[in-house]
Amino acid sequence: MTQPKLSYTIWFSQRTGSTLLNYALASTGVAGDPCEWLHYQNKNPATLKREELERIWQYGTTPNGVFGLKIGFEQRWIDAFRTMFVLPHNASRAEVWSAAFPNCSKHIYMTRRNKVRLAVSWWRAIVSGEWHRNFGEHPQEHHIADKYNYEAIHHLIFQSTMCEAAIEDFLSESDIVPLTIVYEDFIQDYKGTVMKVLEFLDIPTDNVKVAPPALDKLADDVAEQWVQRFREESQKGWENIRW
């Protein structure tokens, strides 16, 4: 298997628009296909074989040699790749990652400003089973109004914060300056964001076409009610209401 000429990683926590960006970049035909390849192919890092990793390179690479993948940071993958490539303990985590994904000089970090809305969106997806909706599809009916759970939403806020902290620690450790994409900005400037990514990757944009958004928003009245309920319950008794 020929190694990718350029590899890049999209680091994300849940509900930050990473799947929408994945589809958009894949649609260009020049930016790889940055899926969650590691999770799709093998959920146990310790059992991943070298030949399986090389197949992942093949799946995620476009004819121009660009490979992409997206992942929420997990230390267990770093540990597995360190063993797979027999790298010394003092090799940085970024060096280990680049051994697994050759020429991985570009990193993209996806985040979302409003962590309450992130967590509500995440909880809504969990209880409804609807994680994505193709653009133009009729909204599914969900009887989830009674599924509000303060503790679950609070936990998901903390979980997303810890995921982002892990990503930021990984990047800072090796002085990596990523392209940061904020969900709220991405959905306001879909095509502009995709073109910005291509420019960041040093991919020529002449004659590149970006497909329209493949996914619709899932936010609905129930989600908004949960956001407001969580906001009010979290600040109950506060002298200074922040939001």
SS3 labels along 98-149: HHHCCCEEEEEEEECCCHHHHHHHHHHHHHHCCCCCECCCCCCCCCCHHHCC
Q: Could you give the angle at the alpha carbon of 117 between the alpha carbons of 111 and 120, nearest 5°?
A: 115
Element (H, E) at 9: strand 6-12
Question: Catalytic residue at 36?
Answer: yes
Residues 6+ positions from 89 with CB-CB distance below 8 Å = 82
Handedness of CA 108, 72, 77, 168 (dihedral sign): positive
Query: Catalytic: which of 36, 74, 130, 168?
Result: 36
Beta bridge partners of 104: 7
Catalytic residues: 36
